[in-house]
Amino acid sequence: MNGSVGKPVHLAVYDTLADWETGHTTAYLARAGYGIRTVGPSREPVVSIGGLRIQPDLALGDLRPEDSSLLILPGADLWDASDDLAPFARTARAFLDAGVPVAAICGATAGLAREGLLDDRAHTSAASFYLAATGYAGAGRYVEADAVTDGGLITAGPTEPVAFAREVFRLLGVYEGEVLDAWYRLYHDSDAEAYAVLQQARAR
């Protein structure tokens, strides 16, 4: 594990966000020492798909790339139901332009596609035809993979929260090499042998 922890990680929260998609990521980033701050459209509470009521720590308009280590964008029904979350995609552009990474999963990848952020980066999502429906110009860069990192941007589909977390940990240097591989094998494949590798790493 990287012993140097920097600025907070910012988790976008909005109505209908998919609870299950970022739990591995935020839990283990917090264990690694990162502060997790939630960012909503405003400071008003939002409600997830699972009915969780979340009070954002700050409003999107107050978020600056220079204050963050990473912006995480979960999926949500609203990504495809309206343009309400388009400001989050625009913020993702500002982050990437500033050299600060962004991680998007499920419906958030469609929002980034509409913003043009997937046109020139290798990426993945729930399915290629799902992103094609946005009319974006990046179909040729679509990769059939559990999660993809390119140009400071991580993408994954809704069934790959563990692979999504793995890419975040790799990008931020939270876990590396055999430890990163063991973490993934434990939580994705239920590989009991991987647990011993993680225990040895914690004991160092």
Cite the active site residues.
106
**DSSP H helical ranges for the chain:** 23-31, 78-81, 86-97, 107-114, 128-132, 161-172, 177-189, 192-203
Measured over the CA atoms of residue 186, residue 190, residue 194 and residue 198, the dihedral's sign is: positive
> Which three-class secondary structure state does DSSP give residue 150?
strand
Judge contact between 89 and 111, C-beta under 8 A: yes
**Alpha carbon 28 to chain centroid, angstroms:** 13
Contacting residues for 154 by C-beta, under 8 A, at least 6 apart = 101, 102, 103, 104, 147, 148, 164, 167, 168, 171
Judge contact between 141 and 118, C-beta under 8 A: yes
Structure tokens at 154: 């991580």
Structure tokens at 110: 């469609």
CA pair distance 204, 80, nearest whole angstrom: 46
